[in-house]
Amino acid sequence: MIHIQVFRDNLSQIQSVEVSGHAGYAEPGEDIVCAAVSAQVISIENSLTRLLNLDMTTEVDEEAGGYLKLTLPKITSKQITHDAQLLLKHLEFALEVLSENYPEYIQIQQFNL
């Protein structure tokens, strides 16, 4: 199962997203659930980095795989904060839709920092 944890600050803004595990929907390399989750997360990471020029903290498990954590840096611009939150809320929404369609393979939890 893929476990997704969304961490919010005291203003309910998403500060980090942690994804771990493997769906187990199909064999590695054929697993559409893992591919969908990975594509969503990597797409948002790229957008935060390339479109908003944010110096994201990205943690991955290079050896075992199945782990990625994105953490926002401190942002001082209201516009960049707005844009980053919009992208992260899009990610959260996309992952929720996937979880609704594949509930036995994806679990999402919310945490307050």
Write the CATH number for 87. 3.30.70.1490
CA atoms within 13 A on the CB side of 16: 16
pTM of the model: 0.94
Can you tell me whether residue 37 is helix, strand or coil?
helix
Stretch 63-92: mean pLDDT, rounded? Answer: 95
Residue matched to tokens 């893929």: 2
Reported as a single tens digit per residue, the pLDDT across 58-74 is 999 977 778 999 999 99
pLDDT, residue 55, reads 96
Structurally, how many domains does the chain consist of?
1
CA atoms within 13 A on the CB side of 109: 10
- Which domain covers residue 41, as residue numbers? 2-112
